[in-house]
Structure 1
Protein backbone atom coordinates (compact mmCIF):
# COMPACT_ATOMS: atom_id res chain seq x y z
CA UNK A 1 0.00 0.00 0.00
CA UNK A 2 1.44 3.33 -1.05
CA UNK A 3 0.71 6.59 0.73
CA UNK A 4 -1.04 9.23 -1.39
CA UNK A 5 1.01 12.08 -2.77
CA UNK A 6 0.14 15.52 -1.45
CA UNK A 7 0.96 18.74 -3.23
CA UNK A 8 0.67 22.44 -2.57
CA UNK A 9 -2.00 22.84 -5.25
CA UNK A 10 -4.56 20.60 -3.52
CA UNK A 11 -8.14 21.86 -3.46
CA UNK A 12 -9.37 23.34 -0.20
CA UNK A 13 -11.90 20.53 0.25
CA UNK A 14 -9.10 17.97 -0.16
CA UNK A 15 -7.07 19.76 2.51
CA UNK A 16 -10.10 19.90 4.81
CA UNK A 17 -10.60 16.17 4.39
CA UNK A 18 -6.92 15.58 5.07
CA UNK A 19 -7.14 17.59 8.32
CA UNK A 20 -10.29 15.70 9.33
CA UNK A 21 -8.58 12.35 8.70
CA UNK A 22 -5.47 13.45 10.59
CA UNK A 23 -7.62 14.45 13.57
CA UNK A 24 -9.42 11.08 13.58
CA UNK A 25 -6.10 9.22 13.29
CA UNK A 26 -4.55 11.31 16.07
CA UNK A 27 -7.49 10.64 18.41
CA UNK A 28 -7.28 6.91 17.66
CA UNK A 29 -3.53 6.83 18.35
CA UNK A 30 -3.95 8.82 21.58
CA UNK A 31 -6.63 6.39 22.75
CA UNK A 32 -4.39 3.35 22.24
CA UNK A 33 -1.22 5.05 23.50
CA UNK A 34 -2.02 4.32 27.15
CA UNK A 35 -0.67 0.98 28.42
CA UNK A 36 -3.90 0.06 30.21
CA UNK A 37 -6.10 0.86 27.21
CA UNK A 38 -3.73 -1.01 24.92
CA UNK A 39 -3.91 -4.08 27.17
CA UNK A 40 -7.71 -3.92 27.26
CA UNK A 41 -7.83 -3.86 23.46
CA UNK A 42 -5.38 -6.77 23.31
CA UNK A 43 -7.71 -8.83 25.51
CA UNK A 44 -10.78 -7.84 23.50
CA UNK A 45 -9.20 -9.02 20.25
CA UNK A 46 -9.99 -12.58 21.35
CA UNK A 47 -13.64 -11.70 21.98
CA UNK A 48 -16.12 -10.00 24.26
CA UNK A 49 -15.16 -9.71 27.95
CA UNK A 50 -16.98 -8.51 31.04
CA UNK A 51 -15.56 -5.68 33.13
CA UNK A 52 -14.87 -8.26 35.88
CA UNK A 53 -12.95 -10.47 33.45
CA UNK A 54 -10.88 -7.49 32.33
CA UNK A 55 -10.16 -6.55 35.96
CA UNK A 56 -8.85 -10.07 36.58
CA UNK A 57 -6.85 -10.22 33.34
CA UNK A 58 -5.24 -6.84 34.04
CA UNK A 59 -4.92 -7.30 37.82
CA UNK A 60 -6.45 -3.84 38.10
CA UNK A 61 -9.14 -2.20 40.21
CA UNK A 62 -12.62 -1.77 38.79
CA UNK A 63 -12.35 2.03 38.86
CA UNK A 64 -9.17 2.02 36.77
CA UNK A 65 -10.57 -0.44 34.22
CA UNK A 66 -13.84 1.49 33.96
CA UNK A 67 -11.97 4.76 33.40
CA UNK A 68 -9.96 3.27 30.54
CA UNK A 69 -13.05 1.63 29.03
CA UNK A 70 -14.81 4.99 29.18
CA UNK A 71 -12.07 6.59 27.08
CA UNK A 72 -12.13 3.71 24.58
CA UNK A 73 -15.92 4.02 24.38
CA UNK A 74 -15.67 7.79 23.87
CA UNK A 75 -13.32 7.22 20.93
CA UNK A 76 -15.66 4.62 19.46
CA UNK A 77 -13.21 1.73 19.81
CA UNK A 78 -15.36 -0.49 22.06
CA UNK A 79 -19.07 -1.18 22.42
CA UNK A 80 -20.70 -2.07 25.75
CA UNK A 81 -23.51 -4.54 26.29
CA UNK A 82 -25.40 -4.95 29.56
CA UNK A 83 -26.57 -8.37 30.73
CA UNK A 84 -28.18 -8.16 34.15
CA UNK A 85 -25.66 -6.46 36.42
CA UNK A 86 -22.69 -7.32 34.20
CA UNK A 87 -21.37 -5.09 31.42
CA UNK A 88 -19.55 -6.72 28.52
CA UNK A 89 -17.29 -4.99 26.01
CA UNK A 90 -16.24 -5.86 22.49
CA UNK A 91 -14.27 -4.13 19.76
CA UNK A 92 -16.43 -1.72 17.77
CA UNK A 93 -14.85 -2.58 14.44
CA UNK A 94 -11.75 -4.07 12.84
CA UNK A 95 -9.44 -1.02 13.18
CA UNK A 96 -8.13 -1.79 16.70
CA UNK A 97 -7.44 -5.43 15.80
CA UNK A 98 -5.57 -4.43 12.64
CA UNK A 99 -3.51 -1.86 14.54
CA UNK A 100 -2.74 -4.36 17.32
CA UNK A 101 -1.56 -6.90 14.76
CA UNK A 102 0.94 -4.32 13.51
CA UNK A 103 2.01 -3.38 17.05
CA UNK A 104 2.43 -7.08 17.86
CA UNK A 105 4.48 -7.62 14.72
CA UNK A 106 6.73 -4.63 15.50
CA UNK A 107 7.17 -5.08 19.26
CA UNK A 108 6.16 -8.58 20.37
CA UNK A 109 7.21 -11.12 17.77
CA UNK A 110 10.61 -12.62 18.32
CA UNK A 111 13.23 -11.51 15.87
CA UNK A 112 14.66 -14.09 13.49
Structure 2
Protein backbone atom coordinates (compact mmCIF):
# COMPACT_ATOMS: atom_id res chain seq x y z
CA UNK A 1 0.00 0.00 0.00
CA UNK A 2 1.45 3.40 -0.94
CA UNK A 3 2.48 5.54 2.04
CA UNK A 4 -0.02 8.39 1.39
CA UNK A 5 -2.91 5.92 1.21
CA UNK A 6 -1.69 4.12 4.33
CA UNK A 7 -1.46 7.49 6.14
CA UNK A 8 -5.10 8.24 5.24
CA UNK A 9 -6.20 4.82 6.50
CA UNK A 10 -4.16 5.25 9.69
CA UNK A 11 -5.78 8.64 10.32
CA UNK A 12 -9.24 7.12 9.85
CA UNK A 13 -8.37 4.25 12.19
CA UNK A 14 -7.01 6.64 14.83
CA UNK A 15 -10.19 8.75 14.69
CA UNK A 16 -12.30 5.59 15.04
CA UNK A 17 -10.28 4.37 18.02
CA UNK A 18 -10.40 7.82 19.63
CA UNK A 19 -14.21 7.72 19.50
CA UNK A 20 -14.15 4.30 21.20
CA UNK A 21 -11.53 5.23 23.78
CA UNK A 22 -13.96 6.85 26.22
CA UNK A 23 -15.35 4.51 28.89
CA UNK A 24 -18.87 5.95 28.69
CA UNK A 25 -19.06 5.75 24.89
CA UNK A 26 -17.70 2.22 24.93
CA UNK A 27 -20.29 1.15 27.49
CA UNK A 28 -23.07 2.70 25.40
CA UNK A 29 -21.88 0.78 22.35
CA UNK A 30 -21.70 -2.44 24.40
CA UNK A 31 -25.34 -2.02 25.41
CA UNK A 32 -26.37 -1.14 21.86
CA UNK A 33 -24.91 -4.39 20.53
CA UNK A 34 -27.86 -6.06 22.27
CA UNK A 35 -30.29 -3.90 20.26
CA UNK A 36 -31.84 -0.50 20.04
CA UNK A 37 -32.09 1.47 23.29
CA UNK A 38 -33.66 4.75 24.39
CA UNK A 39 -31.75 7.42 26.30
CA UNK A 40 -33.78 6.52 29.41
CA UNK A 41 -32.82 2.85 29.10
CA UNK A 42 -29.17 3.76 28.65
CA UNK A 43 -29.29 6.07 31.69
CA UNK A 44 -30.55 3.17 33.79
CA UNK A 45 -28.10 0.63 32.38
CA UNK A 46 -25.14 2.98 32.83
CA UNK A 47 -26.34 4.39 36.15
CA UNK A 48 -25.57 7.81 34.74
CA UNK A 49 -27.26 11.19 34.37
CA UNK A 50 -29.24 12.02 31.23
CA UNK A 51 -26.93 14.92 30.37
CA UNK A 52 -23.83 12.71 30.44
CA UNK A 53 -25.47 9.97 28.35
CA UNK A 54 -26.79 12.50 25.83
CA UNK A 55 -23.36 14.12 25.52
CA UNK A 56 -21.71 10.78 24.71
CA UNK A 57 -24.49 9.82 22.29
CA UNK A 58 -24.03 13.14 20.50
CA UNK A 59 -20.33 12.38 20.05
CA UNK A 60 -21.10 8.87 18.77
CA UNK A 61 -23.63 10.31 16.31
CA UNK A 62 -21.14 12.94 15.16
CA UNK A 63 -18.60 10.19 14.48
CA UNK A 64 -21.20 8.14 12.59
CA UNK A 65 -21.06 5.21 15.01
CA UNK A 66 -24.70 5.36 16.10
CA UNK A 67 -27.93 6.44 14.51
CA UNK A 68 -31.11 7.74 16.10
CA UNK A 69 -34.78 7.52 15.24
CA UNK A 70 -37.65 9.32 16.88
CA UNK A 71 -40.83 7.55 17.94
CA UNK A 72 -43.10 10.15 19.52
CA UNK A 73 -41.15 11.70 22.38
CA UNK A 74 -38.66 8.83 22.58
CA UNK A 75 -35.38 8.75 20.67
CA UNK A 76 -34.04 5.28 19.99
CA UNK A 77 -30.34 4.67 19.34
CA UNK A 78 -28.65 1.84 17.51
CA UNK A 79 -25.20 1.08 16.15
CA UNK A 80 -24.81 2.46 12.63
CA UNK A 81 -21.24 1.43 11.82
CA UNK A 82 -20.58 -2.30 11.31
CA UNK A 83 -16.92 -1.72 12.24
CA UNK A 84 -18.04 -0.44 15.63
CA UNK A 85 -20.24 -3.52 16.17
CA UNK A 86 -17.38 -5.88 15.27
CA UNK A 87 -14.84 -4.00 17.39
CA UNK A 88 -17.09 -3.88 20.45
CA UNK A 89 -17.83 -7.60 20.06
CA UNK A 90 -14.10 -8.31 19.95
CA UNK A 91 -13.47 -6.12 23.01
CA UNK A 92 -16.29 -7.85 24.87
CA UNK A 93 -14.77 -11.21 24.04
CA UNK A 94 -11.36 -10.07 25.25
CA UNK A 95 -12.31 -8.14 28.39
CA UNK A 96 -15.83 -8.98 29.55
CA UNK A 97 -16.60 -12.58 28.75
CA UNK A 98 -16.34 -14.85 31.78
CA UNK A 99 -14.91 -18.32 31.65
User: Fold conserved (TM > 0.5)?
Assistant: yes
- Structure exhibiting the larger radius of gyration computed from Cα positions: 1
Q: CA RMSD in A?
A: 1.4
1:15 deviates by 2.2
Post-superposition Cα deviations, 1:58-97, rounded to whole Å, max 9, x if no partner, equal 1111100000001111111000111111111100032112
Q: Which has the higher helix share?
A: 2
Higher relative contact order (CA 8 A, sep 6+): 2
Number of residue equivalences: 99
Normalising by the residue count of structure 1, what TM-score does the alignment of the two structures yield?
0.81
Normalising by the residue count of structure 2, what TM-score does the alignment of the two structures yield?
0.91
| Inter-partner Cα distance in structure 1 for 2:77 and 2:60 | 10
Aligned pairs for 1:64-103 within 5 A? 64-103=52-91
Counterpart of 2:16 in structure 1 is 28
Q: Unpaired runs of 5+ in structure 1?
A: 1-5, 7-13
Q: Unpaired runs of 5+ in structure 2?
A: none
1:54 deviates by 0.6
| Inter-partner Cα distance in structure 1 for 2:41 and 2:98 | 28
